[in-house]
Structure 1
Amino acid sequence: MTTFDERERAFENKFAHDAEMQFRAEARRNKLLGLWAAELMGKTGDDAENYAKEIVKADLSKPEHEAVVQRVAMDLGGDADEATVRRKMDELLTVAKAQLIDEV
């Protein structure tokens, strides 16, 4: 195997790893967002966990983050608008990435 082939394989492995980590971070962010929204709605325990799972599934069924934003904003009613939900998503993505790094 040539050096070029080795470099190409390493690049492909890094790309796959980065894509997987981004997917996991976004799924974790959505769960954290669901837990945050559940808390604002007064849900606790299993109800909060189930709501968070619904938010993760919503993103998996329609891989458009806007669907999650709209769903959470609609569920929260007057407690948070779409802009607030987007800001919270940005904040929680940083938290999710840090959590994943700590787990490694």
Structure 2
Amino acid sequence: MRFNTTVTSIKEQNNLISDSIYVGQVLNISTTTTSTEIVTPLKDPEITTYTVVSGDSLSVIANRFNTTVTLIKETNNLTSDTIYVGQTLKITH
């Protein structure tokens, strides 16, 4: 482990509810020496444009693209789980 910390600790320090992070996201990481480094993920995510079809839900779409509902909502500035047939979503995965 580069920073001698845990996933749980990083999630708590950054108020994250899932293990997913995205390119450009800034993370605070307190190490055992109490210093803080800023870390950004190195891999660029793949972005797909998806059009909602009948029977879709955010969880169905998230599973299809191996991502999370939270990330889909954040990427598309959604404030609820409601989506509509014909709606176009950006999917980061």
TM-score (norm 1): 0.23
Q: Which has more radius of gyration? A: 1
Q: Compare the two structures and name the one with the higher strand fraction.
A: 2
Q: Compare the two structures and name the one with the higher helix fraction.
A: 1
